[in-house]
């Protein structure tokens, strides 16, 4: 079974606890997933997609619910639009929830070449107009903007000329490259 709500537009900003924001800020540069896998005991398992949506909806807006592992593993995969909602599930359902790799088409980061950024019209007020930003970095000749909510990243790619999705696989490769580079520096320094 598969269900989810289709986004029409960005909702009003959602307030998340400070502990959640601190946890997100403390994460490494590795990509964060908005998907969680939750294992339920058979007596509390949500038996329908609508029950699962009702249960998980209290954490935030749901992008997808996948119940294909329900009969074999008693698991529900839930993808939230905002990664802070997934983080909240992990904290509140400790022991029965775990982070799950994001789908290959999910992205919360965008990239734009410095040359394209320099050519944006003066009316462009910044990427914060699309949603709350979790981080900004430079990778070579590109600026990387990370949003908490995948809808903000999607909207930015549709509106800003030269802006492209930074896919999860690309982010993983980049973070592993940084890790390899750090390891090489430590070996060279004799650590």
Each residue's pLDDT tens digit, 124-172: 999 999 999 999 999 999 999 999 999 999 999 999 999 999 986 676 6
- Exposure b/e, 68-97, CB count within 10 A at least 16 = b: eebeeeebbbbbbbbbbbbbbbbeebeebb
d(CA 132, CA 117): 19
pLDDT score at 69: 85
Residue 95 gets the label, from left (phi > 0), alpha (psi -120 to 50) or beta, of: left
What are 77's two structure tokens? 């995969």
75-80 and 62-66 beta bridge pairing: antiparallel
Q: At what angle do helices 83-92 and 18-26 cross, to 10 degrees?
A: 110
Say if residues 19 and 51 touch (Cβ distance below 8 Å): no
Residue 42 pLDDT class (50, 70, 90 cuts): confident
For 123, residues 6+ apart whose C-beta sits below 8 A from its C-beta are none
pLDDT classification of 96: cutoffs 50, 70, 90: very high
- Residue the block writes with tokens 């809808």: 151
- Whether the pTM exceeds 0.85: the reply is no
Whole-number Å distance between alpha carbons of 105 and 58: 25
pLDDT above 90: residue 66: yes
């Amino acid at each position: 079974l598969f269900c989810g709500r289709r986004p029409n537009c960005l909702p009003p900003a959602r307030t998340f606890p400070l502990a959640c924001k601190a946890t997100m800020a403390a994460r490494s540069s590795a990509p964060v997933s908005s998907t969680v896998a939750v294992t339920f005991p058979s007596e509390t398992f949500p038996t329908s997609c609508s029950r699962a949506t009702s249960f998980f909806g209290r954490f935030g807006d749901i992008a997808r619910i996948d119940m294909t592992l329900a009969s074999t593993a008693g698991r529900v995969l839930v993808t939230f639009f905002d990664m802070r909602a997934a983080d909240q599930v992990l904290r509140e359902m400790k022991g029965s929830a775990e982070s799950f790799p994001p789908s290959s088409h999910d992205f919360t980061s965008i990239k734009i070449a410095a040359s394209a950024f320099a050519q944006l019209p003066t009316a462009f007020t910044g990427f914060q107009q699309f949603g709350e930003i979790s981080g900004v970095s430079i990778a070579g000749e590109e600026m990387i903007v990370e949003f908490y909510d995948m809808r903000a990243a999607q909207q930015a790619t549709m509106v800003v000329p030269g802006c492209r999705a930074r896919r999860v696989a690309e982010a993983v490769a980049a973070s592993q490259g940084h890790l390899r580079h750090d390891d090489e520096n430590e070996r060279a320094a004799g650590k």
